[in-house]
């Protein structure tokens, strides 16, 4: 049975309602409503703890609890009540491992340094994608999304790394997640893509070219950087995409940089796979 709302949507609604309650003029009504919310959370938390304890006591119980926690919806509830069986550091590492192939094409890899006393995950980029104007935001969004899904209880994420941005190198800092209207939105990507092929798809009014090379999935704006035409019908050989219109070649594993040494460069789109679903981030969707 499909879920009507995601955990994030429910959490956002709860936060909005609590904010509205704080603005209610009648302090008695406000206090009683907040007390009711706390009581319900404690009630469901106690019930969930009993369920987890019962399952854990069964044969292969620890494995079963981990399988339950692997579900993004159940896992988020376990996190809320301090019942998740996988330590937060392990979940962060697993999240990074899940996006490492995609991050590697833009940032040369990322190292998890640990979680400090304030609850901030510390990471370091290893290398950078020289000449790629979209790499900084691509890496930032992909890391944020992966870790936010795996460890929502973190206070924030800080990534230190060298970003090739002439004339001087700068540190890439990822601040704690704070939604705002200008922030790119994430959309599901459902187009099937076979290995060694390119598929074009419209996502929220934005034309994308999605390709699979070496088993890994990559997404780009559907515009050839050499001729300005669609990448529809283009071929993939190894990690190189050859434009069907002009023949220009680009390395999709290296963020779409030219495979011929020219300044032409495809425009990558942040893409993250989680819990069997693939999403892409689009800034100014529909433009």
Q: How much is the pLDDT for 257? A: 84
Position 7 pLDDT exceeds 70: no
Radius of gyration of the chain (CA): 22
231-234 contact pairs (CB < 8 A, 24+): 231/198, 231/200, 232/198, 232/200, 233/198, 234/198, 234/209
pLDDT at 247 over 90: yes
Which range in 14-18, 113-117, 223-227 is most confidently predicted, on average pLDDT? 223-227
- The CATH architecture annotation of domain 88-178 reads 2-Layer Sandwich (3.30)
Q: What is the pTM of this model?
A: 0.55
Q: What is the pLDDT of residues 122-178, one digit of tens each?
A: 888 765 444 444 455 666 677 777 888 788 888 888 877 534 333 333 333 333 434
Pairing, β 156-160 against β 120-125: parallel
Annotated domain spans of the chain? 7-80, 88-178, 186-282
Q: Which superfamily is assigned to 186-282 in CATH?
A: Rieske [2Fe-2S] iron-sulphur domain (2.102.10.10)
Residue 229: pLDDT band with limits 50, 70, 90: very high
């Amino acid at each position: 049975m499909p879920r009507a709302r995601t955990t994030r949507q429910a959490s956002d609604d709860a936060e909005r309602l609590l904010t509205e309650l704080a603005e209610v003029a009648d302090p008695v009504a406000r206090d009683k409503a907040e007390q009711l919310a706390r009581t319900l959370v404690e009630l469901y938390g106690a019930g969930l703890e009993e369920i987890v304890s019962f399952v854990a006591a069964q044969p292969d119980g620890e494995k079963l609890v981990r399988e339950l926690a692997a579900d993004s919806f159940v896992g988020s509830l376990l996190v809320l009540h301090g019942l998740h069986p996988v330590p937060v550091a392990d979940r962060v590492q697993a999240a990074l491992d899940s996006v490492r192939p995609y991050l590697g094409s833009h940032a040369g890899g990322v190292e998890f340094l640990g979680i400090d006393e304030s609850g901030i995950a510390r990471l370091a980029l290893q290398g950078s994608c020289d000449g790629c104007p979209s790499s900084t935001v691509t890496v930032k969004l992909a890391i944020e999304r992966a870790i936010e899904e795996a460890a929502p209880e973190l206070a924030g994420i800080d990534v230190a790394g060298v970003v090739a941005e002439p004339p001087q190198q700068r540190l890439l800092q990822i601040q704690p997640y704070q939604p705002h209207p200008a922030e790119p939105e994430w959309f599901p990507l459902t187009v099937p893509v076979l290995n060694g092929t390119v598929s074009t798809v419209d996502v929220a009014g934005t034309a994308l070219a999605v390709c699979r090379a070496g088993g890994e999935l990559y997404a780009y704006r559907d515009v050839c950087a050499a001729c300005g035409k669609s990448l529809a019908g283009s071929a993939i050989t190894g990690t190189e995409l050859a434009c069907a219109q002009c023949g220009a070649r680009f390395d999709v594993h290296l963020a779409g940089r030219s495979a011929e040494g020219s300044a032409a460069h495809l425009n990558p789109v942040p893409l993250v796979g989680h819990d069997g679903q693939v999403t892409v981030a689009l800034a100014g969707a529909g433009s």
